[in-house]
């Protein structure tokens, strides 16, 4: 059914639900799974080199923690899983990764924003579902 599944994973409860669903689908389809974490929190004001380095170190530690969580779930489900980390806009990086990987499916956790704010601001889920080159599964 699917050969390559991409899941957005940031460690939140909604992304964990998406990760579990993606693992199940990858297992059933014997697909490879790529979990993508996107860091978009960079210092907003002029920062010192030490502050930028500290932010980079926190991002690296968080990416390692999330990769370990993905690996543990992959072992549990018997799935071949890869972890990627990118910096930038989550929606843009998810769509670009789907293209780069030739993904058959992108799995995302449902946004908890109220519909009014999602319409005004444009949620990551909404943007990915409109721009992805493949099917998108939104997990509640």
Furthest C-alpha separation in the chain:
50
What local confidence, expressed as pLDDT, does residue 44 receive? 57
Complete domains list, the chain, with CATH:
9-139 (3.40.50.620)
Contact indicator for 81, 70 with CB cutoff of 8 Å: yes
What are the tokens at 67? 């990769």
Alpha carbon distance 62, 129 (integer Å): 26
Dihedrals phi, psi of 81, to nearest 5 degrees: -130, 140
State how beta strands 4-8 and 105-109 pair: parallel
Q: Indicate the pTM of the whole model.
A: 0.86
User: How does pLDDT run across 55-84, given as a tens digit for each residue?
Assistant: 777 878 888 999 999 999 999 999 999 999
pLDDT higher than 70, residue 40 = yes
User: How does pLDDT run across 69-128, given as a tens digit for each residue?
Assistant: 999 999 999 999 999 999 899 999 999 999 999 999 999 998 765 555 454 445 899 999
Residue reference for tokens 């530690």: 61
Alpha carbon distance 21, 65 (integer Å): 20
């Amino acid at each position: 059914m699917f050969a390559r599944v991409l899941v957005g994973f940031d460690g939140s409860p909604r992304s964990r639900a998406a990760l579990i669903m993606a693992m199940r689908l990858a297992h059933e389809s014997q697909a490879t799974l790529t979990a993508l974490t996107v860091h978009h929190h960079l210092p907003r004001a002029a920062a010192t080199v030490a502050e930028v380095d500290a932010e980079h170190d926190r991002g690296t530690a968080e990416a390692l923690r999330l990769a370990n969580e993905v690996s543990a779930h992959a072992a549990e489900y018997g799935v071949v899983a890869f972890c990627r980390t990118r910096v930038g806009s989550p929606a843009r990086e998810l769509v670009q990764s789907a293209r780069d990987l030739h993904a058959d499916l992108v799995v995302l956790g449902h946004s908890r924003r109220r519909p009014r704010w999602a319409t005004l601001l444009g949620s990551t889920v909404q943007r990915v579902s409109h721009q992805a080159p493949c099917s998108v599964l939104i997990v509640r």
